[in-house]
Amino acid sequence: MAAEDGHDHRLARIASSIRVIPDFPKPGIMFQDITTLLLDTKAFKDTIDMFVERYRDKNISVVAGVEARGFIFGPPIALAIGAKFVPLRKPKKLPGEVISEEYSLEYGTDKMEMHVGAVEAGERALVIDDLIATGGTLAAAIKLLERVGVEVVECACVIELPELKGRERLGDKPLFVLVSAV
Amino acid sequence: MSACKDEDPRISNIKTRIRVVPNFPKSGIMFQDITTLLLDPKAFKDTVDLFVERYKGKNISVVAGIEARGFIFGPPIALAIGAKFVPLRKPRKLPGEVISEEYVLEYGTDCLEMHIGAVEPGDCALVVDDLIATGGTLCAAMKLLERVGAEVVECACVIELPDLKGRERLNGKPLYILVESH
């Protein structure tokens, strides 16, 4: 696994703390497991710090995290930069009135939901998840936010699987990642 | 909604930020929605600070958070006190080898899982969730940790529903909460 910026010594430790699990959730998939990163207190802190350093002076008022691993990285970033945290969830989890965005899976579709009123038109948002694969989930998150008039400034993930070309599904939105897994 | 005794001045604002949604997920249930708390950066920060002030310097080496809302509060606490964060998840979400603990629901049972090797014998652990109702989930979480030889120091939740007597299901382990809801 290669670190994106060879000049930052923190990245090597972050990259090596991620565990690869073969054949999960099905044969042929090499699953990038961030739970081992969360067990390395320095690597976890460095991960958050690297995002915070990038976003703290960018007038971002919303950090939207994709359920469930986006809930682990999003809130610490939101707290450090003084932004709201907005959870984007699977259907029927959020209790209040929601808007939904459907997106494609390999087989079939899924839906992502956000509470009505969580964000306001004109806000500047970050979308966070642990990993970008095909980009379908992040693309749905961007759509949800844009539908209510929010400007998505960037998508941020710990890991990218570049061969799946997820970056191309984000339209004109930039993507920032810490490690690339080939 | 009332706060626990010795009310810190920050708690009043935290209480007002929690939204009650009637009849979710089914008729008769008054759902305590913490997503509105997360929209107020000061209230969210105060929530985390209250837990951090209590647990910093107490040699806690593990913060275990219960999927999914425990993933929002657990990691910021873990980062601030220098502990590992361990996600406790619904079945088949964790990619590596797991141990499972079954627990009783109103109708039927559910299961909570933890990665093998995440927690070591002698680890001192905190269990974090947004809310304690009947205590069934927290009880299962404590059992998982104790089965691998960790000591559960305390359970910590933002909200308690005291009428459901969840505190009594914690096998004598202490519970710390910020607000009560009757």
Contact B96 A33 (CB under 8 A): yes
Cβ <8 Å between B96 and A19: yes
Question: Collapsing DSSP states into helix, strand and coil, what is residue B160?
Answer: strand
To the query of whether residue B106 is one of the catalytic residues in this protein, the response is yes
pLDDT digits (tens, 9 = 90+) for B52-110: 999 999 999 999 999 999 999 999 999 999 999 999 999 999 999 999 999 998 788 99
Q: Is residue B2 one of the residues assigned to a domain?
A: no
Q: How far is CA B167 from CA B87, B93, B130, B160, B176, in A?
A: 22, 28, 14, 9, 10
Q: Does B107 or A11 have the greater pLDDT score?
A: A11
Q: How far is A160 from chain B (nearest CA, A)?
A: 18
Q: For residue A9, what pLDDT band results from cuts at 50, 70 and 90?
A: confident
* Interface test mutation site (partner A, options B18, B35, B40, B94, max chain A beta carbons within 10 A): B35
Residue A112's pLDDT band, with cuts at 50, 70 and 90, is: very high
Task: Name the CA radius of gyration of chain A, rounded.
Answer: 16
Q: Does B68 touch chain A (CB under 8 A)?
A: yes
Q: Which residues of A touch B85 (CB under 8 A)?
A: 38-39, 44, 72
Q: What is the ipTM of this complex?
A: 0.96
pLDDT tens by residue, A45-60: 999 999 999 999 999 9
Q: What is the pLDDT of residue A31?
A: 97
φ, ψ at A133 (rounded to 5°)? -105, -95
Rounded Cα distance between A65 and A82, Å, is 15
Residue B147 sits in a domain whose CATH number is 3.40.50.2020
pTM of the model: 0.96
Report chain B residues whose CB lies below 8 A from the CB of A115.
35
* B115/A95 touch (CB, cutoff 8 Å), yes or no: no
What CATH architecture is A10-180?
3-Layer(aba) Sandwich (3.40)
- Report residue B4 as tokens: 């626990």
CB contact under 8 A, A72 and B78: no
pLDDT band at A8 (very low <50, low <70, confident <90, very high): confident
Q: Which of B39, B72, B75 sits opposite A84 (nearest CB)?
A: B39
Range of the domain at B128: 9-180
Domain count, chain B: 1
Q: Which of B38, B82, B96 sits opposite A21 (nearest CB)?
A: B96
A20: which chain B residues are within 8 Å (Cβ-Cβ)? none
Q: For B134, which DSSP code? A: S
- Domain edges within chain A: 10-180
Could you please report the per-residue DSSP string of chain A? -EES-TT-HHHHHHHHHPEEEET-SSTT-EEEEGGGTTT-HHHHHHHHHHHHHHHTTS---EEEEETTTHHHHHHHHHHHHT-EEEEEBSTT-S-S-EEEEEEE-SSSEEEEEEETTSS-TT-EEEEEEEEESSSHHHHHHHHHHHHTT-EEEEEEEEEE-GGG-GGGGGTT--EEEEEE--
CA atoms B166, B168, B173, B179: torsion sign = positive
Is B74 domain-assigned?
yes
DSSP B94-131: S-S-EEEEEEE-SSSEEEEEEETTSS-TT-EEEEEEEE
User: Mean per-residue pLDDT for B143-163?
Assistant: 98
